[in-house]
Amino acid sequence: MDVLYDLGRAGYEAYLVGGGVRDLLAGIQPKDFDVATDAKPEEVRDVFRRARLIGRRFRLAHVRAGGEIIEVATFRAQPRSPEEGEEQAEEALDDHDHMLDEGGRILRDNVYGSLEDDAFRRDFTVNALYYRVTDFSVVDYVGGMDDMVARQIRLIGDPETRYREDPVRMLRAVRIANKLGFDIEVATAAPIRELADLLTDVPGARLFDEVLKLFLSAQAEKNFDDLIELGLFQVLFPQTAACLHQDGVETLIRGALQGTAARVREDKPVTPAFLFAALLWPALRDAMASAIENGQNLAQTIPEHSGDVAAEQVETVALPRRFSTPMREIWALQPRFHRRNGRRPERLAAHPRFRAAYDFLILRAAAGEETDELVQWWTEYQQGNAPVPPAGGPNPKRRRRRRRRTGETPTSD
């Protein structure tokens, strides 16, 4: 509100737009707020002392207000089609504005426009509603209010064209529909299966961001279902998709997604490393299948193959190294849960990734890969009950020493 008022006092038009308006209308607490204005980025910076200009694909101002960062963007226009010719493309380059590639994909869009232009270049009708604080009205050029009432996500304009401009809109349709509990309108859903492959042209880093929004979410499992149904999951995670029919694979992934969703709802931290560990574990198991059959040591096989699985995944969704490294550690620790004698449990428990690896063990047990007894043992171990390992247990001398130290009384074997 402060940002809207300040821009208004400086003589500019300013509206709240996008997810903020949409979520408020749907009765959901918005995650963040976006403002659209006729002020140019430099002019926005002049109004707010603490504004920062950011962005390469399009320039925006970040304004700090009330402990939050408000994104303030200048009205922009819909990119022109590539058929409009060389001349315009060159002109566009000169102006640092938008361009389409031959497939109709937007490469850049920094052409300023009117409020109406700005509405039509947005993705979904419910994302193109503008709240004006001067008269408390909502400006709607695209029928977004009707779609709010009908509870549906509808692309503005011709769906196929809009997906070709930016294939990520297919993922956004799924995510936003499930966030609001809306349906994807029929004509908006119709071309998705056929166009799903376009996602392979999207930079992997952008897909990674979008995948996190889809899966580190309270609606993670519903998003998973819809992505599969629309043929999008198969493009994002081809290695995983190839294993989905195998025993226990869906159970493992759904377990991870349900756990994540529960944590999100409780405002607990969630990590991409754990999510990707679950999503890609079936592919790793597959890659190791022949090694396991040949009786190779799992502890050696996992690190060897986990690099290959991660490398193949980053061809589509680019998992940054700061997440793939802990993911591979979670994997590498799995065989070590079987070694329960001597000081090995202690050493394993001291590993910085132990807790995540233990949570992952629970998922694997629920999917039938490990016994409940093993999970139970490690659960009790952490509670300090130092359970006695089954046959082939620890070195008895060490056990005695430990009992003396902790004052524990021996339990019957």
Question: Which of the residues are catalytic?
Answer: 32, 34, 123
For position 221 contacting ligand ATP by CB under 6 A, the verdict is no
Closer to Mg ion by CB, 32 or 408: give it.
32
- Residue 328: how many other CB atoms lie within 10 Å: 24
Unique residue bearing structure tokens 């315009």: 88
Q: Between residue 4 and residue 23, which ones bind Mg ion under the rule CB under 5 A?
A: 19
Q: Shortest gap between Cβ of 266 and ligand ATP (angstroms)? A: 20
Q: Which stretch binds ligand ATP (CB under 6 A): 162-170, 241-249, 306-314, 321-329?
A: 162-170
Among 45, 164, 169, 336, binds ligand ATP (CB under 6 A): 169
Among 74, 125, 127, 316, binds ligand ATP (CB under 6 A): 127
For position 34 contacting ligand ATP by CB under 6 A, the verdict is yes
The Cα 303–Cα 305 span in angstroms is: 6
Phi, psi of 140 (to 5 degrees): -135, 105
| x-or-dash string of contact with Mg ion, 261-280, rule CB under 5 A | --------------------
Helix residue ranges, H only, 18-143: 19-25, 41-47, 86-94, 115-120
Given the DSSP bridges, would you call strands 152-153 and 183-184 parallel, antiparallel or unpaired? parallel
Q: Between residue 29 and residue 48, which ones bind Mg ion under the rule CB under 5 A?
A: 32
Helix residue ranges, H only, 158-219: 159-165, 168-180, 186-189, 192-195, 204-215
The Cα 320–Cα 206 span in angstroms is: 11
Closer to ligand ATP by CB, 146 or 308: give it.
146
Contact between residue 63 and residue 26 where contact means Cβ atoms under 8 Å apart: no
Helix residue ranges, H only, 51-152: 86-94, 115-120, 144-150
Alpha carbon of residue 229 to chain centroid: 18
Q: Which stretch binds ligand ATP (CB under 6 A): 132-140, 161-169, 223-231, 265-273?
A: 161-169
| x-or-dash string of contact with ligand ATP, 137-156, rule CB under 6 A | --------------------
Among 2, 11, 31, 308, binds ligand ATP (CB under 6 A): 31
Among 45, 76, 122, 154, binds ligand ATP (CB under 6 A): 122
Which pair of structure tokens corresponds to residue 330? 């979670």
Q: Shortest gap between Cβ of 263 and ligand ATP (angstroms)? A: 19
Q: Shortest gap between Cβ of 166 and ligand ATP (angstroms)? A: 5
Contact between residue 365 and residue 255 where contact means Cβ atoms under 8 Å apart: no
Q: Which stretch binds ligand ATP (CB under 6 A): 76-84, 119-127, 185-193, 340-348?
A: 119-127
- Measured CA angle at 179 (ends 149, 243), to 5 deg: 135
Instruction: For residue 142, give the DSSP letter.
Output: S
Q: Which residues bind Mg ion (CB under 5 A)?
A: 19, 32
- Contacts with ligand ATP by CB under 6 A lie at 18-19, 31-32, 34, 122-123, 127-128, 166, 168-169
